[in-house]
């Protein structure tokens, strides 16, 4: 049985894929150049997600306004783990923060916010285990854009293909096209910081 809190991702020795969804104005220049350009904002938090199916749930398979393009963004594992080590949970979990006041102090100055939400199945239903969302604040976005990103892939054609199979009720066939995700290893320090040790 899967643990409640595990990071699952498509990754290799040096990099990991995270997902974001945008409108054409942001997505198309990013796809063309391999780097985010204006109107992508460096002054607001941006959320990255290593779970493809959670991104599909969030964007309704690219059907939501301003989320029509799904991007697979390959970033360095060093950058990813820098974010995790700076992460503050979005809620004051007792196993991580001694008091609510400790959490309030941490969240006020957080460079990265970590949120755990129910993972989704190919059918869109909520699963018992959680999926991680990582919110990168304006203090780290420049590093994300300029240093962490290795490449940006347009996942939209794949999203549309899987979505069409789902609509046709061909869920087993749709699953064959999902990105291959496996448990991403993190050390004890990150596990404790992110509430993964319960």
161-197 confidence digits (pLDDT tens): 999 999 999 999 999 999 999 999 999 999 999 999 7
Average pLDDT for 5-33: 97
HSE-up (13 A, CA, CB side) for residue 42:
12
Can you read off the two tokens belonging to residue 135?
């919110």
Q: Which pLDDT belongs to residue 1?
A: 36
What secondary structure does DSSP assign to 170-194, as a single string? -HHHHHTTS---EEPP--HHHHHHT
Is the bond preceding residue 42 a cis peptide, omega within 30 degrees?
A: no
> What are the structural domain ranges in the chain?
8-191
26-46 confidence digits (pLDDT tens): 999 999 999 999 999 999 999
Number of CB atoms found within 10 A of residue 126's CB: 11
97-141 confidence digits (pLDDT tens): 999 999 999 999 999 999 999 999 999 999 999 999 999 999 999
69-80 confidence digits (pLDDT tens): 999 999 999 999
DSSP structural state of residue 45? -
Contact present, 181 and 12 (Cβ < 8 Å):
no
Q: Is the pLDDT reported for residue 151 higher than 80?
A: yes
52-73 confidence digits (pLDDT tens): 999 999 999 999 999 999 999 9
Handedness of CA 148, 34, 140, 185 (dihedral sign): negative
Contact present, 70 and 161 (Cβ < 8 Å):
no
Q: Which pLDDT belongs to residue 198?
A: 57
Q: Which pLDDT belongs to residue 33?
A: 97
Q: Is the pLDDT reported for residue 3 higher than 70?
A: no
Please, which residues have CB within 8 angstroms of residue 31's CB and are 6 or more apart in sequence? 69, 71, 152, 153, 154
Our CA dihedral for 20, 116, 140, 45, rounded to 10 degrees, sits at 60
């Amino acid at each position: 049985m899967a643990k409640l809190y595990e990071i699952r991702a498509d990754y290799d020795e040096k990099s990991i894929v995270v997902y974001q969804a945008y409108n054409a104005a942001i997505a198309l220049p990013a796809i063309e150049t391999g780097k985010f350009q204006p109107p992508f904002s460096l002054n607001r938090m941006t959320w990255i997600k290593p779970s493809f199916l959670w991104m599909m749930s969030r964007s309704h398979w690219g059907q939501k306004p301003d989320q029509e393009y799904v991007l697979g963004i390959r970033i360095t594992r060093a950058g990813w783990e820098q974010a995790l080590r700076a992460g503050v949970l979005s809620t004051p979990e007792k196993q991580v923060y001694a008091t609510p006041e400790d959490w309030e102090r941490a969240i006020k100055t957080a460079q990265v916010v970590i949120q755990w939400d129910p993972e989704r199945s190919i059918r869109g239903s909520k699963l018992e285990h959680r999926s991680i969302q990582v919110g990168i604040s304006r203090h780290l976005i420049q590093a994300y854009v300029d240093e962490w990103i290795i490449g940006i892939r347009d996942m939209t054609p794949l999203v549309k293909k899987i979505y069409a199979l789902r609509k046709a009720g061909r869920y087993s066939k749709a699953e064959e096209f999902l990105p291959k995700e496996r448990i991403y290893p993190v050390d004890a320090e990150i596990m404790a910081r992110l509430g993964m040790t319960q």
